[in-house]
């Protein structure tokens, strides 16, 4: 969902991916080119106080903007152009079929007409965008993805970036940004192909979203009320920590006494159980009976032992997402720390990749 790409072609300039989640601001910048090899120039993660972003919306704009500005300063870059994303749940999407060969203005008129059928708001209240996916099998029509988000939510994110003295030029969807980052991971799977089934599991702070891909086609998506904030809350109760302290220790350690047995182990068990439950619902509601690879990401997936616990419960090859595995790293990036934090950077990575859009 583009804000105004006529002002700036992101391909021509550096672009920062800016992911504003419930618990942290995540930013990163890429250089190079997908054909010749990408480089991760820099990245930064800045914690957010509890409640600054809630239910996908910004509730305290000043605090959010301050965190974004601190995160940008930690990046150590001169780039101020940013790509942002709306939460997937805040965007209405619909695939529609239109005649092939339409001029762009003709397509816009038809898209607006179709949008009236699917969007439960007046069109003047939403930001509406569309993208041609490709021709149908007949070749006489094209499949088009329609996307709409309430202007209020889009404008809040734009205002947050601008208050941090940044210049937003792209507004994407978190789900599409995640899928873009996953494309960087495909070489890690030797059996990748049109029949390979992937379960992409995003463990956020308050919800877990499961997306099933067959080859490059998304065939299923489901959200469940389970997230990494449960581990944070358990740490707060057990050790008398504030929300910010628990988040910091969860990410960076050192862990308190008995943390692994009394706090972490039950969280891992519950997380693995939720993933297994999501897979079972997928199997019983679709013709599919197996998954070839399970990829875990999001802030709730960076706790120690997550991949092993999920693999043990599901009996499926489970890995932590790392879209940077095939990239070069600049001297500013600490490889060991990146390996730990990479699963939380999928959306930011996908947004930074918008620089290379044709």
Confidence of residue 7 (pLDDT cuts 50, 70, 90): very low
Q: At what angle do helices 265-285 and 306-314 cross, to 10 degrees?
A: 40
Backbone φ/ψ region at 134: left (φ over 0), alpha (ψ -120 to 50), beta: left
Residues in a beta bridge with 101: none
> Could you tell me which of 220, 188, 224, 351 has the C-alpha nearest to residue 300?
224
pLDDT level of residue 358 (50, 70, 90 thresholds): low
Domain boundaries, the chain: 90-150, 188-320
CA angle 254, 75, 354 (to 5 degrees): 115
pLDDT in tens, 134-143: 888 877 888 8
For the segment 65-119, what is each residue's pLDDT rounded down to a tens digit? 999 999 999 999 999 999 999 998 888 888 888 888 888 888 888 888 888 888 8
The answer to whether residues 346 and 182 touch, using CB atoms and an 8 Å cutoff, is yes
- Architecture field, domain 188-320: 2-Layer Sandwich (3.30)
- Which value, to the nearest 10 degrees, does the dihedral of the CA atoms of residues 276, 280, 282, 286 take? 160
Max mean pLDDT among 19-23, 67-71, 246-250, 300-304 falls in 67-71
Q: What is the pLDDT of residues 179-219, one digit of tens each?
A: 999 999 999 999 999 999 999 999 999 999 999 999 888 99
Distance CA 17, CA 351 (A): 4
The answer to whether 186 touches 319, Cβ cutoff 8 Å, is no
What's the alpha-carbon Rg for the chain, to the nearest Å? 20
User: How does DSSP assign 233-299, residue by residue?
Assistant: HHHHHHHT--HHHHHHHHHH-PPPTTIIIIIIHHHHHHHHHHHHHHHHHHHHHSS----SEEEEESG
Three-class SS string for 192-246? Answer: CCCCCEEEEEEECCCCEEEEEEECCEEEEEEEECCCCHHHHHHHHHHHCCCHHHH
Helix axes 61-75, 151-163, angle to 10 degrees: 50
| Predicted pLDDT of residue 119 | 82
* 184 phi, psi to nearest 5 deg: -70, -15
Fold of 90-150: Dna Ligase; domain 1 (3.30.1490)
pLDDT in tens, 219-276: 999 999 999 999 999 999 999 999 889 988 888 888 998 999 999 999 999 999 999 9
- Bridge partners, residue 320, by sequence: 296
Cα–Cα distance, 308 to 132 (Å, whole number): 40
| Mean pLDDT within 286-295 | 95
Q: Structure pTM?
A: 0.90
**Of the candidates 313, 310, 305, the residue with the CA atom closest to the CA atom of residue 295:** 310
Q: At residue 210, what are phi and psi to the nearest 5 degrees?
A: -115, 125
CA nearest 22: which of 66, 65, 59? Answer: 59
Pairwise CA distance, residues 158 & 169, whole Å: 9
């Amino acid at each position: 969902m583009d804000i105004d790409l006529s002002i700036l072609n992101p391909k021509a300039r550096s672009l920062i991916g800016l992911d504003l989640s419930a618990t942290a601001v995540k930013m990163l910048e890429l250089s190079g080119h997908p054909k010749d090899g990408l480089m991760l120039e820099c990245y930064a993660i800045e914690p957010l106080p509890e409640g600054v972003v809630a239910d996908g919306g910004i509730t305290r704009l000043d605090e959010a903007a301050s965190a974004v500005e601190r995160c940008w300063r930690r990046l150590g870059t001169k780039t101020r152009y940013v790509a942002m994303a709306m939460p997937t749940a805040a965007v209405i999407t619909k695939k529609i079929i239109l005649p092939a060969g339409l001029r762009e203005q003709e397509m816009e008129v038809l898209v607006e007409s179709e949008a009236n059928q699917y969007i439960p708001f007046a069109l003047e209240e939403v930001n509406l965008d569309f993208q041609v996916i490709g021709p149908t099998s007949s070749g006489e029509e094209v499949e088009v993805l329609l996307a709409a988000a309430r202007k209020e939510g889009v404008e809040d994110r734009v205002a947050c970036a601008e208050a941090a003295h940044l210049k937003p030029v792209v507004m994407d969807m978190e789900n599409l940004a995640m899928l873009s980052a996953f494309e960087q991971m495909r070489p890690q799977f030797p059996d990748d192909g049109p029949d390979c089934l992937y379960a992409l599991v995003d463990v956020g702070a308050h919800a877990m979203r499961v997306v099933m891909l067959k080859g490059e086609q998304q065939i299923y998506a489901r959200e469940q009320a389970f997230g990494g904030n449960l581990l944070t809350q358990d740490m707060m109760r057990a050790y008398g920590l504030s929300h910010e302290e628990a988040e910091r220790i969860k990410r960076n350690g050192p862990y308190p006494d008995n943390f692994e047995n009394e706090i972490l182990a039950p969280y891992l068990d519950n997380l693995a159980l939720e993933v297994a439950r999501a897979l079972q619902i997928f199997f019983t509601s679709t013709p599919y009976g197996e998954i070839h690879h399970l990829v875990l990401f999001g802030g709730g997936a960076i706790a120690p032992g997550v991949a092993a616990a999920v693999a043990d419960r599901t009996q499926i090859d489970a890995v932590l997402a790392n879209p940077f595995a095939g990239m070069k790293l600049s001297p500013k990036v600490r490889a060991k720390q990146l390996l730990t934090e990479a699963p939380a950077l999928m959306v930011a990575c996908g947004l930074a990749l918008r620089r290379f859009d044709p």
